[in-house]
Amino acid sequence: MNLIRTGKAGTLESSDVMITVKGHSENRVEIKLKSIVEKRFGRHIRRQIEDILERMEVNSALVDVDDRGALDCVIQARLETALYRAAGIQSLRWEEIQ
């Protein structure tokens, strides 16, 4: 998946996450994570994001994550939506969604 513009999804409300993605100027993946539960779940959240990026074949991405204690399923939904928006894809590709 090729990110052609900035994609944003989510909110800054409690139990949600706001994710902003765009292509990386050095063609790599970089995750900037800010989370209220970073100490306890930071590694887990990073791994989850890396997995989703890999599954969706995103090789160049700057991912900004502002997490307010979102559950895994919320993080997944927000990230996938942000990626679709950034790739300019209008309809869901169901086969890519786990």
Partner 1 sequence: MGDYGFNTEIIQTDETAERKPVEDFLHRLSLSYDSDVDYTVVMKEGSRIVATGSLAGGVIKCVGVEPEFQGLALTNTIVSHLEMEAYRRNRERLFVFSRPRNRAAFEDLGFQSVGEYPEEIVLLEKPGGGLLEWAMSEGADQERSATEAANVALVMNCNPFTKGHRYLVEQASRRAEELYGSTVDESRGVVHLFVVSEDRSLFPAAHRLRMVREGTADLSNVRVHPGGPYIISSATFPTYFIRNPDDIVRTHAGLDLHIFASRIAPLFGIKRRMVGHEPYCPVTAAYNRAMKDILPTYGIELEEIHRLEQGGRAVSASTVRDLIRQERMDEVKKIVPETTWRYLGSAEARPVIERLKKEKDRRH
Contact set with partner 1 (CB under 8 A) = 6, 8, 10-16, 18, 20, 34, 64, 66, 68
Choice between 34 and 55, CB closer to partner 1: 34
Relative to beta strand 7-10, strand 17-22 is: antiparallel
Residue 39 CB, shortest distance to partner 1, in Å, is 17
Q: How far is the CB of 8 from partner 1 (least distance, A)?
A: 5
The helix/strand/coil state of 86 is helix
Q: Which is nearer to partner 1, 16 or 80 (CB)?
A: 16
Nearer residue to partner 1 within complex by CB, 50 or 64: 64
The continuous run of DSSP H or E covering 21 comes out as strand 17-22
Cα–Cα distance for residue pair 24/16, rounded to 1 Å: 25
Minimal distance, residue 60 CB to partner 1, in Å: 17
